[in-house]
Amino acid sequence: MQRIAILSDIHGNMPALEAVLADISKRGIKRIICLGDLAGKGPNPIEAVDRIRDCCEIVIRGNWDELIGRQLTDKLPFTWHEDRLGAERLQYLANLPFSYDMEMSGKRIRLVHASPQSVYHRVQPWDSEERRLGMFDNTPETGKSEEDPKPEVVGYGDIHNVYVQHMERRMLFNVGSVGNALDMIQASYAIMEGTEGGSALEPFSIQLVRVPYDIELAVQHALKASVPEMEMYIRELRTGVYRGLQQ
């Protein structure tokens, strides 16, 4: 049986990232996959990008990675991070792959940041069943055609809400966010366990892990760096409530 840690949405929060990596190490897990959004929002984009590059065997592209790496907007919440990351890191983010497919315990598994349609196509656990089933579609972005077999398991990040659901004999799971959790005020990641490769059906599991970290240290980092939209970011860290829902 192999175990792979899957994490996402670091958002430049180093206290949260180091807490998660320490938990992964304590469990003896050697393999890590990241589902994107390394930078953005938080105060330490350089450290987050470099740490993820160093410890993850696979990193896929998130919406913040695309917007920052490809410099698609001139809005301050994005350009602040661009100015600090430098040309080489920006190129790294811009060129990250869209998705990653693998097999484990006889199941076809796909990992994306937001959906197989786009890094900006957001799917929530309470969305319609039709919309959630669309997470299993083959699209040009995934490099698969409609004739190819669909994945049986899909894991993603983006929404910062942790869950597992089963629909039509398929499994959909979200790993939540390391650095900007919006369901409770602890970092999150997933552990995927099974027998990698081959077509034989073997035991398979997804474990969702919550990790406490020093939120006030992350707040101090944000204050020191004077990140854009700092008050909203700090409220998200302390409350787990998305800024769009805050009064």
The whole-number pLDDT of residue 80 equals: 96
Instruction: Look at residue 11 in the predicted model and tell me its pLDDT.
Output: 98
Ranges of residues in the chain whose predicted pLDDT is under 70: 244-247
Q: What confidence score (pLDDT) does residue 134 get? A: 96
What are the tokens at 140?
A: 């040009």
Which residue has 């175990």 as its token pair? 3
CA distance 52 to 243: 26
Q: Which residues contact 173 (CB under 8 A, 6 or more apart)?
A: 153, 154, 155, 156, 163, 164, 165, 190, 206, 208
Please give the pLDDT value at position 27: 98
pTM of the prediction?
0.95
Q: Is 221 helix (H, G, I), strand (E, B) or coil?
A: helix
Round to whole Å and give the CA distance between 181 and 37: 13
Report residue 46 CA to chain centroid gap.
17
Contact 24, 32 (CB under 8 A): yes
User: What is the structure's pLDDT at 197?
Assistant: 83
CA–CA dist 144, 141 (Å, integer):
8
Q: Provide the pLDDT for residue 246.
A: 52
Look at residue 199 in the predicted model and tell me its pLDDT. Answer: 75
Query: What SS3 class is residue 40?
Result: coil
